[in-house]
Amino acid sequence: MSSKLPLLPGATLGILGGGQLGRMFTIAARTMGYKVMVLDPDAASPAGQMADVHLQAGYDDQAALKRLGETCAAVTTEFENVPAASLIELAGHCRVSPGADAVAIVQDRGHEKSWLAGNGFATAPFALIRSEDDLDAALAEFGTPSLLKVSRFGYDGKGQARIHSIEDARTAFREFGGQPCVLEGFVRLEREISVVLARSDAGECMLFPIAENRHENGILDVSIVPARITDALAQQAREIARAVADRLGYVGVMAVEFFITGGRLMVNEIAPRPHNSGHYTLDACVTDQFEQQVRALAGLPLGDTRLLSPVTMVNLLGDRWRDGGPHWATLLAHPNIKLHLYGKQTARPGRKMGHFNVLDAQAEAALQLAEQMRDAL
């Protein structure tokens, strides 16, 4: 079932998932005059706090899906691990973006890697692992070090293990319950970057400035914009990201993560949603990634993605909520720092509690202050 586009303010938009990405989508949508219904099983979900209606139910709850689909003119997703069957069910009632086909490809690492390779996009060497025999054969080909990742439900460093020996590999595979995995061969990283973009029903693409990303323990720590890469490499990254979106027939906001190795680009992952590395857009671009998500879902013209200022984004993890921290007064003493907290009630090590953006006319100054504040908190 399809609604007449564009969907204008006053319409009800829905989202599957109530974490921080859903929260920022909800804020953007309500700021633009839309009503928002969130489906999430957590009674204290960050997005549910901000929504007009919070349906507290599982993502496969048929009664909740029916209510969501019948109430909303269009529905989107906050994260990729929503059951594809739920998106298909919703599509019988309302507009759904992104579609189930695209989400099904990228929610499984094995499918995603195979799809990328089959469509001619360069990736790190990989092998699909279904058994210890597969693991032995792949390690014989790739050697060590390498990285073993579960095919489904892994994120922010979870569900992956660094492999230095065949014993490491077998132990990790057993700890993952023998579930399907992907083994990735080692690549010598020079940088990691990401391209966040939006694609409309008509195939129009708007790309945000490229972010250079640094990780700690598998979790994004800092994003630096603009990325410190050559113009030629930046252009190539934009072209690849656009081609990925086109091949998927994607509608909505998505991100393509890249490794840079030996001066070449390799696609690491596709995220079928707004991306942590795109949070800088909230303060540094004409249109942020969440307004863009609303625009794409509602069938509106996509917004201007120009960068208004160099910026560095820093993630705030739950580790900082101890020993009297975080020290907000220290952070907020700086007029060029923008703080975003996600409304999560409990802080845990590794849990994303918020982020801050540092804007400065000089990119290096923004990075320097961001690192100083990160260490001072």
User: Which ranges of 197-340 does DSSP label H, i.e. alpha helix?
Assistant: 231-248, 281-284, 289-298, 328-332
φ/ψ (deg, to 5) at 321? -85, 60
Share of the chain above pLDDT 70, in %: 98
Question: pLDDT of 79-99, one tens digit each?
Answer: 998 998 999 999 999 999 999
Does residue 272 contact residue 205 with C-beta atoms inside 8 Å? no
Question: pLDDT of 184-217, one tens digit each?
Answer: 999 999 999 999 999 999 999 999 999 999 999 9
Structure confidence at residue 120 as a pLDDT band (50, 70, 90): very high
The amino acid sitting at 254 is M
Question: pLDDT of 220-259, one tens digit each?
Answer: 999 999 999 999 999 999 999 999 999 999 999 999 999 9
Residue 166, judged by CB atoms within 10 A of its CB (0-12, 13-18, 19+), counts as middle
Residue length of the chain = 377
> 3-class DSSP state for residue 215?
strand
- What letter does residue 286 receive in the DSSP assignment? S
For residues 213 and 250, state if they share a domain: yes
Q: How many domains does the chain have?
A: 3
Does residue 37 contact residue 369 with C-beta atoms inside 8 Å? no
How is the beta sheet containing 35-39 ordered, strand by strand? 53-55, 35-39, 12-16, 74-77, 95-96
Question: pLDDT of 326-364, one tens digit each?
Answer: 999 999 999 999 999 999 999 999 999 999 999 999 999
Q: How far apart are CA 170 and CA 166, in angstroms?
A: 6
For residues 62 and 176, state if they share a domain: no
For residues 175 and 203, state if they share a domain: no
CATH number at residue 200: 3.30.470.20
For residues 214 and 251, state if they share a domain: yes
Does residue 93 contact residue 70 with C-beta atoms inside 8 Å? yes
Question: pLDDT of 263-290, one tens digit each?
Answer: 999 999 999 999 999 999 999 999 999 9
Instruction: Give the domain range for residue 46.
Output: 12-96
For residues 290 and 226, state if they share a domain: yes
Structure confidence at residue 323 as a pLDDT band (50, 70, 90): confident
How many helices (H) and strands (E) would you count in the chain?
13, 18
Q: How far apart are CA 360 and CA 364, in angstroms?
A: 8
For residues 251 and 312, state if they share a domain: yes
The amino acid sitting at 247 is R
- What letter does residue 307 receive in the DSSP assignment? B
For residues 137 and 262, state if they share a domain: no
Within-domain flag for 3 = no
For residues 172 and 216, state if they share a domain: no
> 3-class DSSP state for residue 324?
coil
pTM as predicted: 0.96
